[in-house]
Amino acid sequence: MRASDLLHPRPEGLYCPPGDFYIDPVRPVERALITHGHSDHARPGHAKVLATRETLDIMAIRCGPDFAGATQAMALGDRIRLGDVTVSFHPAGHVLGSAQILVEHNGMRIVASGDYKRATDPTCAAFEVVPCDVFISEATFALPVFRHPDAADEIGKLLKSAQQFPERAHLVGAYALGKAQRVMRLLRDQGYDRPIYIHGAIARLSEYYESQGIKLGNLQPATVEDGDKRDFAGAIIVAPSSSFADRWARRFPDPLTSFASGWMRIRQRARQGGVELPLIISDHSDWDELTATIRDTGAGEVWVTHGREEALVRWCELNGISARPLHLVGYEDEGD
Ligand SMILES: [Zn+2]
């Protein structure tokens, strides 16, 4: 059997005929294996969903308890049989519960890594190298210009700014799942013990992280009643960046806008978004992490899913690894 007979793209998503399942399908299917809870990968409406316990919990929080007909939780490292293939989940280091999915059939091993990073993240299990024949990789930041600095140093910039401008509210844009909790945990790791104010869209997921043992400290709702603007002077407020355009954000005293994303490497992008304090903190691999990971897996073949496919395919070819883009559609940048 060729690798492409074991897994190949269909309009619904990446399909495994001998196992009769899809990985991160973008349309409702009979059986879906889900790598992690970001909305472009974890969609509601499948008959059966197999994922880590955390991903199932996150899907229930985001999509409601009836997000699938039936669910089955996979412990990391456990192997199960689906049709003629064996499947196991392994940590991806992307967000809480995120997993790579190893598909094995007659000695052939394909790893669908979903989204992943190698940098340290105190809010989720660290990426595990899974040796394989074919490695399926994302390519969100697959250009040599993308090199993520140490996230702790970026958080240091935020703390310094909050000290320097004690009269201004610091509004930090961060994706609701993963990035927001990572930013808060990094603040605590640097000794920040004041309350952190959070937008309502982040509350339930942050509570869930807490319930899973990821301590985020004193979190308070970032709600502004008329006339109490002073309360937020010098405060750090974490919110989805989409909320910055809302009336909600204008109520804070002289807000200083920050955004935690790998895209903040591109100054123009920060400027266009009106971001005064860009923080380069990404939950995706940068160029060095992508290329190192491909080497680490020992894969002789790489399939590239979403992002800047061309550069990564080219790098593989130059390094004697056969590679091709899968041209999967429907995956955006949630959680970058
Ligand atoms: Zn993701």
The CATH number covering residue 100 comes to 3.60.15.10
**Residue 333: inside a domain:** no
Residue 93's domain comprises: 3-145+284-325
Task: Let me know whether 131 and 197 are in one domain.
Answer: no
Task: Let me know whether 133 and 58 are in one domain.
Answer: yes
**Residue 336: inside a domain:** no
Task: Let me know whether 50 and 162 are in one domain.
Answer: no
Measured in Å, residue 153 CA sits from the centre of ligand 1 at 23
Task: Let me know whether 140 and 185 are in one domain.
Answer: no
**Residue 34: inside a domain:** yes
Measured in Å, residue 113 CA sits from the centre of ligand 1 at 11
User: Residue 330 above 80 pLDDT?
Assistant: no
Burial zone of 215 (CB within 10 Å; 0-12 exposed, 13-18 middle, 19+ buried): exposed
Residues 6+ apart with CB under 8 A from 153: none
Measured in Å, residue 281 CA sits from the centre of ligand 1 at 14
pLDDT-based confidence at 143, cuts 50/70/90?
A: very high
Measured in Å, residue 166 CA sits from the centre of ligand 1 at 34
Degrees, nearest 5: CA angle 179-185-190 = 125
User: Residue 33 above 70 pLDDT?
Assistant: yes
pLDDT-based confidence at 1, cuts 50/70/90?
A: confident
Stretch 76-85: mean pLDDT, rounded?
98
Entry pTM: 0.95
Measured in Å, residue 180 CA sits from the centre of ligand 1 at 13
Measured in Å, residue 122 CA sits from the centre of ligand 1 at 17
Task: Let me know whether 296 and 263 are in one domain.
Answer: no
Q: Which residues are near ligand 1, the ion (C-beta closer than 5 Å)?
A: 38, 115, 335
Task: Let me know whether 126 and 190 are in one domain.
Answer: no
**Residue 132: inside a domain:** yes
Asked if 213 and 182 touch (Cβ cutoff 8 Å), the reply is no
Task: Let me know whether 49 and 133 are in one domain.
Answer: yes
Q: Where are the beta strands (DSSP E) in the chain?
A: 8-10, 13-16, 21-23, 31-33, 46-51, 68-73, 79-82, 85-91, 99-105, 108-112, 134-139, 170-173, 196-198, 219-221, 236-239, 256-260, 277-279, 301-307, 322-325
Task: Let me know whether 204 and 296 are in one domain.
Answer: no
User: How far is CA 246 from its chain centroid?
Assistant: 25
How many domains, the chain?
Answer: 2
Measured in Å, residue 33 CA sits from the centre of ligand 1 at 15
**Residue 7: inside a domain:** yes
Here the tokens at position 133 are 């024949």
Q: Where are the alpha helices (DSSP H) in the chain?
A: 3-6, 53-63, 151-164, 179-189, 200-211, 247-250, 267-272, 287-297, 309-318
Measured in Å, residue 335 CA sits from the centre of ligand 1 at 5
Task: Let me know whether 19 and 168 are in one domain.
Answer: no
**Residue 155: inside a domain:** yes
**Residue 334: inside a domain:** no
Stretch 144-159: mean pLDDT, rounded?
97
Measured in Å, residue 42 CA sits from the centre of ligand 1 at 9
Task: Let me know whether 162 and 241 are in one domain.
Answer: yes
Task: Let me know whether 111 and 238 are in one domain.
Answer: no
Measured in Å, residue 253 CA sits from the centre of ligand 1 at 33
**Residue 332: inside a domain:** no
User: Residue 211 above 60 pLDDT?
Assistant: yes
Name which of 20, 16, 13 is nearest 4 in CA terms: 16
Task: Let me know whether 73 and 126 are in one domain.
Answer: yes
Provide the mean pLDDT of the chain. Answer: 95
